[in-house]
Chains A and B, each alone.
Chain A
């Protein structure tokens, strides 16, 4: 079974500084996808960034980048120049292998609560 581990229940970062949120994963499937979502207190899960297992380069989206180390099975999220609005829960997720039933559901970690300090 697939597993996502986020070892940091909470993180603090000074405004305008960079922060790294850790994510390790376990899968036997050679083809997989990794996602990061942001969940503010309002509850909506906001898609941030995606990394495919065969992608040659690390994914980047604006201030978000993914430090993908395949051999170590880690996919850490880096947020540069933190803003107060970045305070939220952050979830790492992996797309499950094809189940044969036609779905590609996500398996999520327990999340990291990021607090940005002014």
Chain B
């Protein structure tokens, strides 16, 4: 079946612009995660949704970062007033339930470059 998809794959923004990154999880998956991957590093957790509820946003680096999943499927990560330090790959992952044993399946990521 279809995996996790993300769009756009690449985004270039001028400093100060707002951006919106989209994630389409695997159909029916309850859990959705956003991660940020800086160049040469492993991914770092940003936020978590269980259906439409955002249960954990402890990894969001500032109040310029906002995420939503209004109908419990597609999710959008929005970054306001982008800064150069926001340049990274943003990865979305989904898992079938909210169980400890679930495997997270990742999308291809969105590479954001802030000039």
Give me the interface of A with B, judged by CB distance under 8 Å: 4, 31, 33, 35, 37, 42-47, 50, 52, 91, 93, 95-96, 98-99, 101-111
Contact = CB atoms under 8 A, between A and B. Distances in A.
Contacts of A96: 45
A102 B55 contact: yes
B100 A33 contact: yes
Contact of B58 (A43, A46, A101): A101
Contacts of A104: 98-100, 102
Nearest to A9: B40
B58 to A, nearest CB: 7
A67 to B, nearest CB: 20
Interface in B91-110: 91, 93, 98-109
B42 A111 contact: yes
B48 A105 contact: yes
Given A91-B43, A96-B45, A104-B100, 6 more contacts: A31-B100, A33-B101, A47-B103, A95-B100, A102-B50, A103-B33
Interface residues of B, number: 31
Contact of A99 (B40, B56, B99, B109): B56
A45 B35 CA distance: 11
Interface of B: 31, 33, 35, 40-45, 48, 50, 55-56, 58-59, 89, 91, 93, 98-109, 111
B103 to A, nearest CB: 5
Contacts of B48: 101-103, 105
B108 A43 contact: yes
Given A52-B101, A101-B56, A110 B42 contact: yes
A105 B56 contact: yes
